[in-house]
Amino acid sequence: MKPVSSKKSRSPDVPQSADFSHKAVNHVSVTTEDGRTVAMTLGDLQHQLSARQADAIAQGLLMSVLRTDLKMMSMPWDGASHLNVASHNGGREALRFSDDTFYHPGATFRYLGMCWSFEGIGEDPDYPANVLCVRTLHDGGILFGKGNDQYLLSAQQALQLCHDLSGSAYSLENRSWRVWDKMIDWQPRSYADVAGQTPEERVLFNYLISYKLRPKSARNAR
């Protein structure tokens, strides 16, 4: 695995991919038979997910990849119908990754997000398996944690998982992702209907890509 490296110098106290090399996986895959139950394989371990859980992980992985230097060409909602983009108030919700990144020089991670993927009511009988965490390292590696399991992914692996998990959850008729300060809602179409990004999708794509370059003061001034 070769994480995308950052050209900026970092403090020696900031974690690097080499510190987690024993957590690296050489294979990632996603399979489903009905779009409702999804199998996510990371290395030698397989996790069984619901469609909503798969969709939530895809959302978190997208934000993690956006904080790497990997060149991206598309977003999961490209070609979708009824795309709607609104501001997000920053509140926390189950099955939706947060943005807990520290926006200051010398921050430990380029992205840090948490998500609780429990779909029931009351006490979670599978705790801590439903606690998810994604962290983007400054050299481009991505740490994905699910309960007590932790994996080191390359940006390419994380992006592959993002698209595959999103695509596998096709039983969901509506999607709603929080990405930075935006709430993005859409209805997926079949792959045969996708004909490239519309002008609206391109504007959103450019905004999300450049978000990591915008100073916090500039974002707050909007």
In angstroms, the CA 169 to CA 151 distance is: 22
- What residues have CB less than 8 Å from 143, skipping those under 6 apart? 20, 23, 133, 134, 135, 136, 137, 150, 151, 152, 153
> Predicted confidence band at 214 (pLDDT cuts at 50, 70, 90)?
low
Task: Average the pLDDT over 41-66 and give the result.
Answer: 97
Q: Report whether pLDDT(47) > 90.
A: yes
In angstroms, the CA 58 to CA 52 distance is: 10
Q: Give the chain's end-to-end CA distance (angstroms, integer).
A: 39
In the chain, % of residues over pLDDT 70: 86
Question: Two tokens at 11?
Answer: 């403090």
| More confidently predicted of 54 and 173 | 54
Q: Report whether pLDDT(199) > 90.
A: no
* Nearest residue to 132 (alpha-carbon basis) of 182, 96, 91: 96
* 5-33 pLDDT, tens digit each: 444 444 557 899 999 999 999 999 999 99
pTM for the predicted model, two decimal places: 0.85
In angstroms, the CA 185 to CA 84 distance is: 5
Question: Two tokens at 166?
Answer: 């999103």
Cβ pair 140, 18 in contact under 8 A: no
Other residues' Cβ atoms within 10 Å of the Cβ of residue 108: 15
At residue 105, the pLDDT reads 82
Task: Average the pLDDT over 184-212 and give the result.
Answer: 76
At residue 10, the pLDDT reads 47
Task: Average the pLDDT over 190-202 and give the result.
Answer: 64
DSSP 90: -
In angstroms, the CA 213 to CA 149 distance is: 31
At residue 222, the pLDDT reads 45
Cβ pair 150, 23 in contact under 8 A: yes
Q: Report whether pLDDT(212) > 80.
A: no
* 139-176 pLDDT, tens digit each: 999 999 999 999 999 999 999 999 999 999 999 999 99
